[in-house]
Amino acid sequence: MPESNSVKRMFAGIANKYDRANHILSGFVDFYWRNVLLKHAKLLNPKIVADLATGSGDVAICLKKGLQEHTIVNGYDFCEPMLIEARDKAKASLDTANILFRFGDCLDLPIDDNSVDLITISFGFRNLEDRKLGLQEFKRILKPGGQLMILEFTQPYPWFAPIYYKYLQNVLPKIAKIVTGNSDAYDYLAESIQEFPNKNELKIEIEEQGFLEVDFHPLTLSIVALHKATKPNL
């Protein structure tokens, strides 16, 4: 699993170019992935949402706009330059100006026990130095019966895997270098996706930390998956 300080440095280095790179390198499919997450979140009608590893805040902003007006959505990240991007973006619209973007390490969150209805973490879980500790921390802050949603890269369908991994290893870092001036972060992306557990393995990791009703939804030829899990009622 990656080391926290190097992850933080890497995102600090690309923070002001992250959104543009994200849209271009995903072929603008990132909007669709966030909307799938929103669709699942709407079913819960949560009162309090914590978007972890919120980065430049696109998920928190999408949830704040799409969920009921009274829903409180807060974003947490341990990389200040990413949080600065998030705050600037959220301030630009009245609907999202009251999202609180706070410093928060997923392994030691500044959030009370049993206080959150829904945790979302999108493209951040793969970067945690200790996923087991992360899942324990998520369970601590969720209310009993609360839900965890992890949107993350995963292994594509086998027939598509050779093409996809060639794109990740050979094409993506070159485009990323043009867009961000930094290809290291995107070399890391390719490596970290290949090393990350597949959909079933991740389901088991989540279950092993005591979550119930764990299921997953593959998206876009299964290059991404949404895992959902519930904290048991006391």
Ligand X SMILES: C[S@@+](CC[C@H](N)C(=O)[O-])C[C@H]1O[C@@H](n2cnc3c(N)ncnc32)[C@H](O)[C@@H]1O
Q: Determine the interface stretch with ligand X among 120-128, 152-160, 171-179, 199-207 (rule: CB under 6 A).
A: 120-128
Examine residue 4 and tell whether it contacts ligand X (CB under 6 A): yes
Residues that bind ligand X (rule: CB under 6 A) add up to a total of 22
Question: What tokens were used for 22?
Answer: 């994200």
Q: Which of 25, 62, 123, 150 binds ligand X (CB under 6 A)?
A: 123
- As measured in angstroms, the least distance from the Cβ of 29 to ligand X is 12
Which CB sits closer to ligand X, 55 or 146? 55
- As measured in angstroms, the least distance from the Cβ of 137 to ligand X is 9
Question: E strands, 100-223, where?
Answer: 100-103, 116-122, 142-153, 212-219
46 burial class (0-12, 13-18, 19+ CB within 10 angstroms)? buried
Q: Which of 63, 106, 149, 168 binds ligand X (CB under 6 A)?
A: 106
Give the separation between CA 213 and CA 176, rounded to whole angstroms.
38
Q: Determine the interface stretch with ligand X among 4-12, 135-143, 179-187, 213-221 (rule: CB under 6 A).
A: 4-12
Contact 100, 76 (CB under 8 A): no
Q: Identify residues 14-73 at the interface with ligand X (CB under 6 A).
A: 22, 53-55, 58-59
Examine residue 85 and tell whether it contacts ligand X (CB under 6 A): no
Structure-token match 């973490």, residue found: 121
Count CB-CB contacts under 10 A for residue 177: 15
Question: What tokens were used for 198?
Answer: 């597949």
Counting every residue written for the chain, the total comes to 234
- As measured in angstroms, the least distance from the Cβ of 234 to ligand X is 27
Count CB-CB contacts under 10 A for residue 6: 13
How does DSSP classify residue 110?
Answer: S
Examine residue 128 and tell whether it contacts ligand X (CB under 6 A): yes
CA nearest neighbour of 138 among 201, 3, 231, 61: 231
- As measured in angstroms, the least distance from the Cβ of 19 to ligand X is 8
Q: Closest residue (Cβ) to ligand X? A: 55
Structure-token match 């280095």, residue found: 13
Which CB sits closer to ligand X, 151 or 214? 151
**Which residue ranges make up the site for ligand X (CB under 6 A)?**
4, 7-8, 11, 22, 53-55, 58-59, 77-79, 82, 105-107, 122-124, 127-128
